[in-house]
A and B are shown apart, each in its own frame.
Chain A
Amino acid sequence: MKLTLRIWRQAGPDTPGRMAEYQVDGIEPDMSFLEMLDVLNGRLILDGQEPVAFDHDCREGICGSCGVVINGRAHGPEHTTTCQLHMRAFHDGDVIDVEPWRAKAFPIIKDLVVDRSAFDRIVRSGGYVTAPTGSAPDANAVPVPKADADVAFDNATCIGCGACVAACPNGSATLFTSAKVTHLNLLPQGAPERERRVLDMIETMDAEDFGGCTNSGECVAACPQGIPLASIATLNREFLRANRSAKR
């Protein structure tokens, strides 16, 4: 396949960026999207140009490092991460726009690389169970109903890629935060910190440059892990519950 790529190039956080156009040839359907970018970069390097910077690591859809906006959609046309998107989703002669996550809370570092450390700060503010090493009871001491464990697991599969924020018209991190709150608040192990967790995490989320949630659902459509919209409802319920009990 021969493709035209229009890629966002930006040398650093404070320099202006622009879309730059490149042609790539010899692209095979079995290549991943990132392998297609590898081909482009190999050529740019030999031509004496700087390759396109992009984050990636595991290349099997689980580390959450990669993520770009492809033709206006976070992670591109399929329900997966950028590294697991294969070129068979495109056709010879296609023009493909490649941009970084666009969100105020994710400032650009270079080209397609953005700073997602705001996610880490949200987790730090309460996305954990206080269980210092050595203090745990036997693993089977507290049974957890399978249904609860399954919903907790579904939410715990979030990879922190940031597609939800990039897809959201408001640049909101509500789906990300709701996944963590749902994971931990549903489990008996997370119960003692249930109220504090949701209040602190929402406070941190609001203090970063994320927008508010208007239930547009774009986040769910972009999420490669299938975190459901119901998690946002859970977050809201947990938030109201915590506020009520805080007033008492």
Chain B
Amino acid sequence: MRDYRLGEPIADTRAPAGPIEDRWATRRFQAGLVNPTNRRKHRVIVVGTGLAGGSAGATLAEQGYQVVQFCFQDSPRRAHSVAAQGGINAAKNYRNDGDSVYRLFYDTVKGGDFRSRESNVYRLAELSGQIIDQAVAQGVPFAREYGGLLDTRSFGGVQVQRTFYARGQTGQQLLIGAYQALSRQIDAGNVELHPRTEMLDLVVIDGRARGIVARDLVTGEVTTHLADAVVLATGGYGNVFYLSTNAKGSNATAIWRAHKRGAHLANPCYTQIHPTCIPRSGEHQSKLTLMSESLRNDGRIWVPKRQGDTRPPGDIPEAERDYYLERMYPSFGNLVPRDIASRAAKNQCDAGYGVGPGGLGVYLDFADAIGRMGRAAVTEKYGNLFDMYERITAENPYEVPMRIYPAIHYTMGGLWVDYDLQSTIPGLFVIGEANFSDHGANRLGASALMQGLADGYFVLPTTVNDYLAGGGLTDVAPDHPVIARVEAEVAERLATLLAVRGDRTVDSFHRELGLLLWDHCGMARNETGLRKALGRIPSLRDEFWHRVLVPGTGEQLNQELEKANRVADFLEFAELMLLDAIVREESCGGHFREEHQTPDGEAQREDEHFSHVAAWEYTGDIPVLHKESLRFDYVHPAARSYT
């Protein structure tokens, strides 16, 4: 049985030819410009106000465009970028430790397990330094040395110290920087902000993205907003697993609806499982909390050498502990990339060495660091993380080692975009975690903030300019039949959700879906399990549409309706994610297929057949797979070694 069809390969990504270090400069020079006085005639919609959306909205408005911006939260300052803890990479080489743009590029391509596009990654590395400059100019209070200059630290998969940070709240500080820049533009009248408003569909007219249909979450009113270009900065789809480190509201609706309107969706099976999260405590659990990867700079990960050892950690002598990452990967030690650290933790727990309830945990121990640096220095670096751990677990990590376990954290897949960050729908741009572009099959720590801000502050302004300079945009009449049709579809769907009045809550379906995916499409996957999960989705979806219970009406603040609408999309999205995982018969980065591993259990890529991006086209019938083959002219694919 074929469950997909092979389409035409993607030949052109719009990346200029020539030496990689000149490509972005070339593209910028070739890009068309819009005269400053003409920019105010163009409206650009930006959906989402995280690092990517916030920085894009502010910068496009500074350029003179009329920006119309949306977020489902009550304020742009609350987008989930706010929760990023550890830091942001930049090839500043302030440490004089051998860093360079090329090394950051190299590390990121290798870290992504050779499944990202070289041109995009090089541009990201090239822009990284300017992001730090921009943030400091905005007043972002990064950590500093006593001499007043910026401090840096290390992150996983890297042997230089290029990560800038603001204690354990780097995402919050960068987001507030972008939020304040956006606030300034709102005050200046250049941005029209719609908080508590959620995009529910994309309006495509004459083959171009021309607007969105959105619901005011307070009044329930569904309206269409028109523009000359639409930017999606709506984040990742990690919440398809129900339990993840994402915010409760994070969802895939915007990208999924755009996909159904013609935007290809790339590599949905690439999901990142973060190694250091607080283990779940019970059935009631509503989300998982990350403990920053930066903790692996100083914390040591271990399990008891004896299976099922239930002694308290303090009673286990040094000789009876297995610091397994240091043992297996001596040159990177506790700072191996996330996918490797997560799988190693799972393997230890599966083999019976795990600690804590259910044996689903490993220790992250700071005793040595406290001995070496003193407690005050540890507090200075990680204080807020230690406090958070103690609040959640009621255990004091200064005295007892933390218990950690991997959890869904980030999604490398997303809407397919070209070098200009434009999707397969002209006029629809996708930035930040919502696109697929820069991290390949595994994202290195402190790279998400870098990518979101590179896209929003520096890439998009050039490429949106180019698109709008291309012209050919005619005014869309508010009574255009496409608008009425899309609005009617949205309204009908909401009405259907409300009309079911079944006997199961939205959350019960979401939990069931999440568990199914975690079991069969989580840290390790195999064809049998994936097919089993794929077989279950249609019946689960059918059950959802017949048994879901959404109280209240659509003309009010109705949080159950919001959730139901998102879960309905997750139930469709999950099917494509599983299919993508089945079709990719190799292991790479976060996608670990048990059938494809080396004798010592490491991921085994199959470059000959899978050195490509899988871009899926929605047809309403079986999906069509378009392959964008990946070329590596600079960093040559090799087995990723961190030993």
Contacts and interface: CB of A to CB of B under 8 A. Distances in A.
B609 interface: no
B551 interface: yes
B75 A160 contact: yes
B286 A35 contact: yes
A34 interface: yes
Nearest to A142: B136
B285 A35 contact: yes
Interface string A122-144: 01110111111111111110111
B208 to A, nearest CB: 26
Given A86-B394, A149-B141, A156-B176, A137 B556 contact: no
Interface in A81-135: 84, 86, 88, 109-110, 113, 115-117, 119-120, 123-125, 127-135
B469 interface: no
Nearest to A145: B148
Interface in A162-190: 183-184, 187, 189-190
Chain A, interface size category, equals: 35 or more
B141 A187 contact: yes
Contacts of A115: 74
A57 interface: yes
Contacts of A84: 388, 391-392
A138 B137 CA distance: 9
B619 interface: no
Given A50-B551, A139-B132, A153 B141 contact: yes
B285 A139 contact: no
Contacts of A64: 75, 77-78, 82
B195 A49 contact: no
Residue with the highest number of chain A CB atoms closer than 10 Å, among B134, B141, B457, B508: B141
B166 A189 contact: no
Contact of B73 (A57, A86, A88, A131): A57
B457 A133 contact: yes
B248 interface: yes
Contacts of A138: 133
A116 B457 contact: no
A83 to B, nearest CB: 9
A108 to B, nearest CB: 11
Contacts of A42: 505, 507-508
Contacts of B94: 140
A111 to B, nearest CB: 9
Contacts of A32: 286
Interface in B85-107: 92, 94
A139 B398 CA distance: 34
B641 interface: no
A28 interface: yes
6 tightest Cβ-Cβ pairs between the two chains A and B: A143-B148, A128-B180, A136-B137, A153-B141, A131-B137, A136-B133
Interface of A: 11-12, 28, 30-32, 34-35, 38-39, 42, 45-46, 48-51, 53, 55-65, 78, 80, 84, 86, 88, 109-110, 113, 115-117, 119-120, 123-125, 127-140, 142-146, 149-150, 152-153, 156-157, 159-160, 183-184, 187, 189-190
Given A110-B556, A113-B557, 12 more contacts: A45-B505, A49-B551, A51-B559, A110-B557, A129-B138, A133-B461, A134-B134, A139-B135, A144-B144, A156-B141, A183-B139, A183-B141
